[in-house]
């Protein structure tokens, strides 16, 4: 199934149906599938999942729609900041620990934060996240534990606190510390 999907993508993107282009497509798709297979055999983290059997796929549809809404809402917020140029920005760094079940869950949370306009995941080391936010409203979904809990629901039915050891470092605080 993967070969057919990738080959269809190749044909659509190339727009050529001659023997040379189709042959190059077959070689390229075979190479991609070989490299992908080799990567799947390697475990980068102790809690890597070999497959996505732990993901609750019904919940993932909800999460995708919820995430799109969060991106749109945050996008309008950032547009509002840009339009009101004189509005002072209070850029903030936040650090927190996320109690999530796997490396994939942490990766999904980090990517979800970065996809949301106004926030950027700078680093994830074990359970420690470092996030930059353009203003206070931008990181509310993280500090309220809303986004991390939505990620947790992708993997577990259990409702619990995900964020621990939250620290908010504002730009003015860093100037005072110097």
Distance CA(165)–CA(5), nearest Å, equals 44
Cβ(108)–Cβ(102) below 8 Å = no
User: What digits encode the pLDDT tens for the residues 61-86?
Assistant: 999 999 999 999 999 999 988 888 77
- CB pairs under 8 A, 24+ apart, for 167-171? 167/94, 167/95, 167/96, 168/92, 168/93, 168/94, 168/139, 168/143, 169/92, 169/93, 169/94, 169/95, 170/90, 170/91, 170/92, 171/90, 171/91, 171/92
Q: What is the pLDDT of residue 178?
A: 42
Architecture of domain 57-177: 2-Layer Sandwich (3.30)
In the predicted model, what is the mean pLDDT of residues 126-144?
A: 90
User: What digits encode the pLDDT tens for the residues 146-169?
Assistant: 999 999 988 888 888 888 998 988
Distance CA(128)–CA(96), nearest Å, equals 6
Percent of the chain at pLDDT above 90? 34
- pLDDT band, very low/low/confident/very high, at 170 (cuts 50, 70, 90): confident
Locate the domains of the chain by residue range: 2-41, 57-177
Q: Are strands 163-170 and 119-125 parallel, antiparallel or unpaired?
A: unpaired
Q: What is the pLDDT of residue 58?
A: 83
Q: What is the pLDDT of residue 43?
A: 65
pTM of the model: 0.70
């Amino acid at each position: 199934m993967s070969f057919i999907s990738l080959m269809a993508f190749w044909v659509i993107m190339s727009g050529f149906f001659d023997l040379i282009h189709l042959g190059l497509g077959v070689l390229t798709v075979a190479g991609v599938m070989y490299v992908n297979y080799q990567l799947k055999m390697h475990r980068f983290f102790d809690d890597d999942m070999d497959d996505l059997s732990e993901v609750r796929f019904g919940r993932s549809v909800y999460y995708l729609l919820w995430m799109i809404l969060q991106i749109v809402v945050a996008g309008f917020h950032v547009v509002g900041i840009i339009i009101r140029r004189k509005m002072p920005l209070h850029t903030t760094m936040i650090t927190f620990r996320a109690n999530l079940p796997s490396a994939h869950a942490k990766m999904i949370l980090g990517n979800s934060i970065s996809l949301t306009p106004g926030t950027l995941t700078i680093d994830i080391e074990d359970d420690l996240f470092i996030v930059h936010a353009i203003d206070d409203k931008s990181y509310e979904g993280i500090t309220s534990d809303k986004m991390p809990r939505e990620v947790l629901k992708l993997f577990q039915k259990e409702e619990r606190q995900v964020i621990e050891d939250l620290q908010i470092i504002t730009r003015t605080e860093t100037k005072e510390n110097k």
